[in-house]
Amino acid sequence: MIKHYPYQSLGKANHGWLQSKHHFSFANYYNPKRMGFGVLRVINDDWVEPGMGFPAHPHKNMEIISFIRSGAITHQDSTGNKGVTKSGEVQVMSAGTGIVHSEYNRSKTPLTFYQIWIESNQHNVEPRWESKLFNTEYSSTHLPLVVSGYEEDQGQALFIHQQARIFAGKIKKGSVFEHSIRNQAYILSSQGSFKLADSNSQITLDKGDGAEVTNAKTVLFTALDDCEIVIIDVPKM
C-alpha cells in the first residue's frame, strides 16, 4: 500500500532565516494523525540562510541523521566533535545518554537538508557523531546504502542504533529499477519527479513529496526526470 503526502500538504514553519516543511508533527506544528511512521519520528525539509543556524541545544536517546542536499552544515557538540558536512554527504549523531550540539550554515550560500530522527533501540549509549561522503554520480540501477543499524552493513554505511536502513542518491531520467523493502518505508523526492509502484497501486512523486509504503516487499521506481531519492526503511513500533 502506498500513501502519498504532497509537499503542499506538509506542516510548515517560516522563521525568516529558517524555512521548514514537516512530514510529521514537530515544534509548533501538531497533527495527531502525523506523529511518526513506526520508529521514524521526524523528517524536516529545512532551508537555512547563510550565516544562520541552530544554537546549542540538547538531545537524548535519539538517532539524528542529516542528509545534505545543497550547501554545507557545520557541527559542534559537547563531546568535542567538530566537522563540516557538505552536499552529497550524510552525518549521523547518536544522542544516547545526552549530548548538546549546534548546527550552523557558515557558508555564503543557502543550506538545504533533510533532518531525520529515528528512535534508538538501545538507550543511554555513549554519544557519537560521524559523517561520510557517498557516491554522488547518477545511477540507473539502484540507490546507495548510506545509513544502517544492521551488523552486516558495518563499514559500508554510517551506523545507527536501530534496525533501519536509509538509501539515498541520484537516479538518471528514464531509469526503471526495483527496490526491496525489509520493514516499511518512507520515501522522499529530494529532486525531480518519479513514479512509485507496488503490486496494487502507482503514484507520482514530485520534488518535496513523501510517501508511506506498507505491506509491500518491493517497489518499482521509474524516473521521469533526473532525480534524487531517499528511502527510509524502518521497523514498526
Establish how many alpha carbons lie within 13 A of residue 177's alpha carbon, considering only the half-sphere containing its beta carbon. Answer: 16
**pLDDT tens digit sequence for 209-236:** 999 999 999 999 999 999 999 999 999 9
Q: Is the dihedral of CA 108, 230, 2, 200 positive or negative?
A: positive
d(CA 161, CA 64): 10
pLDDT computed for residue 237 by the predictor: 83
Q: Which domains does the chain have, with CATH numbers?
A: 2-234 (2.60.120.10)
β-partners of residue 92 are: 65, 130
Mean pLDDT, 10 residues at a time, the chain of 237 residues: 98 98 97 97 98 97 98 97 96 98 97 98 97 94 97 95 98 98 98 97 98 98 98 95
Q: Are strands 145-148 and 158-159 parallel, antiparallel or unpaired?
A: parallel
For residue 176, give every residue at least 6 positions away whose Cβ sits within 8 Å of its Cβ, in sequence order, or none: 220, 221, 222, 223
In the numeric block, which cell numbers belong to residue 156?
Answer: 559500508
Strand order in the sheet with 176-180: 176-180, 218-223, 194-197, 202-205
**pLDDT tens digit sequence for 25-44:** 999 999 999 999 999 999 99
In the numeric block, which cell numbers belong to residue 122?
Answer: 538501545
